[in-house]
Amino acid sequence: MSNLSLWQRTYNYLVLLYKWYLRTPERSLETAYQAALSIKKIEEEYFNGGIITTYSSQYSSLDNYFTTELNKQLKIVRMRLTEFNSSRTFLRESDYNRAPKYGVTLLSSTVILEKLQFIDSVIGKYINYDDNLASVSIPTNSPQPSSNIVSSNPQTDESPIPNQSKSLQYLARRNKGGENRSKANTTGILPRSILSTVSRIQVELDPDAEKDVLQNFRKAQRRTIISVRFILLLIIIPVLTHQLSKAFVIGPIVNYFHPVTTSNAFINNEMEEKAFAELAQYEEHLRFQAMIGNAPVLSESEREEKLQAKAKEIAYAFSRESSNAIKNVFADICSMIALVIFLLSSQPQIAVLKDFFDHVVYGLSDSAKAFIIILFTDIFVGFHSPHGWEVILEGISRHWGLPANHEFIFLFIATFPVILDTIFKYWIFRYLNRVSPSAVATYRNMNE
């Protein structure tokens, strides 16, 4: 009776999970639709139905509020539409046919198209929106804000900055014949230090230098905040997905089909050999303790009872380890899916992160660059790196409950560090040698 009730609870749980799966496209579309409605509401209340814009190049709390709110809603729309398209890809015709059987009423194609058209009409005006610069492009025929809000520090005729947003200025600078190319792609006749000195003097003589420095500082601050937050999410999302899926979804299913008992303790021969070695060590321990007088001499039956109890304890421990390894496999798959979805929906943040690393790496001193290169190369491709790779691969094998294949480990160690070493040397030759030849010279001197 208990097994029947357990099966019924498991079946009900799977039905609820399947219904949640069927409603995923509808739920994602509805969330994106509500976010588009929020943007539309702001436009109608504060901008006379026009595009949400900021008219000041200076910082103001009012502009920051509208920019933050627009960023949030556009991000929700992007993420939910990605989820909507991805979930509909996995739905089959049989799923649509089975939906009424489980009491799930799916949206009709007409309703879906109407909501998608509304979302496109709202966010289409922000197609060139750059949320990393906290502003939007302003059309020439854009209406002014209504009297419900007061524009802070409006532009005047004497202002040297055009009446356009930071993103428009930024895109114009990026498209001016490659003037804003990355450091790795620029070379010149004169040494870079002389050119940088001349550029610095020109900036210091510019009457608008203070304003430009302030804008660059705010841009760098926002870039740093976005990059740090994105890095933290890259770590938190897979770990949190792994733990939650393992505890609430995968764990109960695996426990039902692979319960923790002494009868199915081992999923590979390596675990069985470890269990035999542990039991033999325990038997030797009992005999040794009896020989030195720390424990009474056991009879044959007493020794068998102790060995039997220890064998059950070892089998239960390995059964729990086997079940945990199976859970880890499926939980890691869920974590990888969540990470891929997050990366696909975070293309602007990835671009900001690349720019952030470019500024950090190329902004280091020559000795710091050489130190970091030597540190990474010695860890991953150096003389002692094979031992580290062996520990990592054996740990991954235990994590997934796989036997450690030493032939594969040796083959991996013989090829992968060599590939990494080639990539490091190519990067040093192709990029670092152009950007900072003195850092390459320092690296070679430290290596010798």
pLDDT (tens digit per residue) in 395-440:
898 888 888 788 888 899 889 888 988 998 888 888 788 877 888 8
Does the residue 206 lie in any domain?
A: no
Question: Contact 183/435 with Cβ under 8 angstroms?
Answer: yes
Residue 152: name the closest of 65, 271, 50 by CA: 65
Does the residue 376 lie in any domain?
A: yes
pLDDT tens profile 132-190: 433 333 333 334 444 344 333 333 333 333 333 333 343 344 344 444 444 444 455 55
Does the residue 393 lie in any domain?
A: yes
Q: Which two structure tokens, joined as six digits, stand for 158?
A: 């004497």
Q: How far apart are CA 414 and CA 395, in angstroms?
A: 19
Query: Is residue 270's pLDDT more than 80?
Result: yes
Does the residue 41 lie in any domain?
A: yes
Question: Contact 330/290 with Cβ under 8 angstroms?
Answer: no
Q: Quick one: 303 and 170 in the same domain?
A: no
Query: Is residue 208's pLDDT more than 80?
Result: no
Q: Quick one: 309 and 253 in the same domain?
A: yes
From residue 247, give the alpha-carbon distance in Å to each of 3, 213, 280, 330, 346.
Answer: 21, 50, 35, 12, 27
Does the residue 203 lie in any domain?
A: no
Q: Quick one: 243 and 166 in the same domain?
A: no
Q: Quick one: 416 and 326 in the same domain?
A: no
Query: Is residue 21's pLDDT more than 80?
Result: no
Does the residue 356 lie in any domain?
A: no
Q: Which of 347, 377, 412 is the last residue of a domain?
A: 347
Q: Quick one: 227 and 291 in the same domain?
A: yes
Q: Quick one: 57 and 172 in the same domain?
A: yes
Specify the pLDDT at position 229.
92
Q: Quick one: 287 and 343 in the same domain?
A: yes
Tell me which of 434 and 97 has the higher pLDDT. Answer: 434
Q: Quick one: 88 and 43 in the same domain?
A: yes
Residue with tokens 């038997």: 283
Domain range for residue 380? 364-448
Q: Quick one: 139 and 234 in the same domain?
A: no
Question: Contact 372/362 with Cβ under 8 angstroms?
Answer: no
| Residue 196 banded pLDDT, cuts 50, 70, 90 | low
Q: Quick one: 336 and 375 in the same domain?
A: no
CA angle, residues 267, 271, 276, in degrees to nearest 5: 130
Q: How far apart are CA 439 and CA 363, in angstroms?
A: 12
Helices (H) and strands (E) in the chain, counts: 17, 0
Does the residue 431 lie in any domain?
A: yes
Q: Which of 322, 347, 372 is the last residue of a domain?
A: 347
What is residue 154's three-state secondary structure? coil
Which parts of 99-150 fold into alpha helices (H)? 109-123
Which parts of 124-180 fold into alpha helices (H)? 166-174
Q: Quick one: 266 and 386 in the same domain?
A: no
What is residue 59's three-state secondary structure? coil
Q: How far apart are CA 348 and CA 132, in angstroms?
A: 8
Q: Which of 315, 347, 379 is the last residue of a domain?
A: 347
Does the residue 184 lie in any domain?
A: no
Specify the pLDDT at position 238.
93
Number of domains in the chain: 3
The distance between the two most distant Cα atoms of the chain, rounded to a whole number of Å, is 104
448: amino acid identity, one letter: E
Question: Contact 136/165 with Cβ under 8 angstroms?
Answer: yes
Q: Quick one: 447 and 368 in the same domain?
A: yes
DSSP annotation of 249 reads I
What is the helix (H) or strand (E) element at residue 353, kind and residue range? Answer: helix 347-362
From residue 125, give the alpha-carbon distance in Å to each of 43, 238, 241, 258, 280.
Answer: 11, 33, 34, 54, 73
